[in-house]
Amino acid sequence: MGMGVSKVLHRWVLLVFLVLLVGWGSRPADASHRVYPTYQTYEAEKVSSNHRTAYHFQPPKNWINDPNGPLYYKGVYHLFYQYNPKGAVWGNIVWAHSVSTDLVNWTPLPPAIYPSKPFDINGCWSGSATILPGDRPAILYTGIDPDNRQVQNVAFPKDLSDPYLREWVKPDYNPVISPDASINASAFRDPTTAWMDRDGQWNVVVGSRRKHRGMAVLYQSRDFVNWVKVKHPLHSSAGTGMWECPDFYPVSRRHRNGLETSVVGREVKHVLKVSLDLTRYEYYTVGRYHPGVNRYVPDPASIDDHTGLRYDYGNFYASKTFYDPEKKRRVLWGWSNESDSRSIDVSKGWAGIQAIPRTLWLDEGGKQLVQWPVVELEKLRGKKVQVHNVKLRKEGRFEVKGILSSQADVEVTFQVSGLEKAEPFDPSWKDPQVLCGQKGADVGGGVGPFGLWVLASGDFRERTAVFFRVFRAPHKHVVLMCHDPSSSTTKADVWKPSFGGFVDVDIRKEGKISLRNLIDTSVVESFGAGGKTCITSRVYPVEAVGDAAHLYAFNNGEATVRISHLKAWQMGTPMMN
């Protein structure tokens, strides 16, 4: 009896101390490599199902962050990911491993890579997979050595006949890449998928920085074992800070099919994506790769700093793509961290999800990427409701009934007219996230805000708004897409930022704009204009949960908009680890 009381008191003391130590605020991705020693091995006695997603990737309990080394091998999709097997905060990181035949249903396997050798004894951090000649997978990953230097290691499957790749071997000749005197050994991590040039030489990039300049440090090898640093980076950019989780790959200018990572050619462009440790957001550029001089040069129209293009303008970080040879597509994974408090994560026993995998391709103009949820997700679509030709006048709203809207996939197209009523666009409005915060869903406008209220309570005390707003500029209308979660919950201790991005669409010519939303308990993923602008938010309603959640279309603008068609499906629950 005394021991039981002591154990309970001990846990309560730990939780109270956690609140005092960690505080209540939480940025979407700020926990990467942040150490909470007391809680790295603190496991909840019971894992809370409150706010756990139904069809997004997550393990049964504990902390996850970066997706690592996704690949396709012998009919099986593999996802490795950073995982703490002992608690719900970052620490004790291993490469957890799950497999799937459809990117929807997932089966867990034992961790593939974990600290066990001097070259990774203090940590096994992020990396990528490469398929070598003869269909042989290899993993390059960052290890933390006894001196806490970040070094790059290689691992190979123990049994190539095993489609599940259950066991991996780390050769004793590791590390294969170590930081030299010109490299900051504490800012040298996350190797990319390697690519082979026409001379049969392998190339790989490792993220780094020199003072405040982010860098993609380039290494080359003939045998995937002995690597030599190229004299200059593949690319770098001033003022961007540490480049985490770089990704470098080709995209076709002619079609939507993905390309194997080593492909080059006149009809090919390249994408360089980096995750910025400085801002905790990502950005990418589209440009040209010049293998003869080992340089990547962004196109003139591609902004090469933290204000540039993003895969996702919301809670989405440490992303990684892979080429799927089965369906000839490039697939994107990204991590969406919690935005509640660290103390809540510890008490509920889990933290972090992976966003729904997305197919991506280069748009027709060749200036940006387009993303769309993998088609396999549609197998989860169940009960369906449809709406056609509904007018939404100023302050109008329309409830979509008939499905469980807390677990749904919603596609809607809005017909937009009355563009003469659009507000003038101020050229100083450079940051769409700031603009969305200033002009939220409840701030009336000329054309918009119009869109959807998701995860809404019956009394509207809770609601998350996903919406568009149209502005009038001298030569073209400007379309803004926003997430406004300011009223998403009555709960305290939750970070509720507005997120936003501009949408590259000619609204006068098109006369319409589409929106797709994946709604899953505590996450909302939105795809505007067919996937040109994407935003992910984590929200934690108290009342708008389960069958108490409502879904509405709304318009708070002067101009009338019309729902030309809306389709909403209740989503099933797959096998999830």
Active site residues: 66
Burial state string for 294-313 with b = 16 or more CB within 10 A and e = fewer than 16: bbbbbeeebebebebbbbbb
Burial of 515 (0-12, 13-18, 19+ CB in 10 A): buried
Q: Radius of gyration (Cα) for the chain, nearest Å?
A: 24
Residue of 534, 533, 551, 546 lying closest to 410 (CA atoms): 551
On whether the CB atoms of residues 332 and 360 are closer than 8 A, the answer is yes
User: Residue 126 and residue 229: Cα distance in Å, rounded?
Assistant: 20
Question: Token pair for residue 43?
Answer: 């496991």
Q: Name the residue among 61, 162, 174, 158 with its Cα closest to residue 115.
A: 174
Structure tokens at 438: 């200033």
Please count the helices (runs of H) and the strands (runs of E) in the chain: 4, 37
From residue 425, alpha-carbon distances to 429, 435, 481, 527 in Å are 8, 11, 14, 23
Alpha helix stretches (DSSP H) within 48-185: none
Q: What is the DSSP-derived secondary structure letter of residue 501?
A: E
401 phi and psi angles, rounded to 5 deg: -115, 165
Other residues' Cβ atoms within 10 Å of the Cβ of residue 175: 20
- Rounded CA separation 207/273 (Å): 11
Q: Within 325-451, where are the H helices?
A: 342-348, 432-438
Contact 271, 251 (CB under 8 A): yes
Return d(Cα 152, Cα 176) in angstroms, integer.
Answer: 6
Q: 271, 369 in Cβ contact below 8 A?
A: yes
Kindly list the distances between the CA atom of residue 45 and the CA atoms of 52, 62, 576, in Å, as whole numbers in the listed order. 17, 12, 21
386 forms beta bridges with 567
Determine the length of the chain.
577
Q: Tell me the β-bridge partners of 561.
A: 392, 416
**At 313, is the secondary structure helix, strand, or coil?**
coil
Q: Which helix (H) or strand (E) holds 188?
A: strand 188-189
Beta carbons within 10 angstroms of residue 259's beta carbon: 21
- Give the DSSP H/E element, type plus range, for residue 8: helix 2-22
Maximum distance among all Cα pairs of the chain, rounded to whole angstroms: 76
Q: How far apart are CA 57 and CA 204, in angstroms?
A: 28
The DSSP 8-state label assigned to residue 509 in this structure reads H
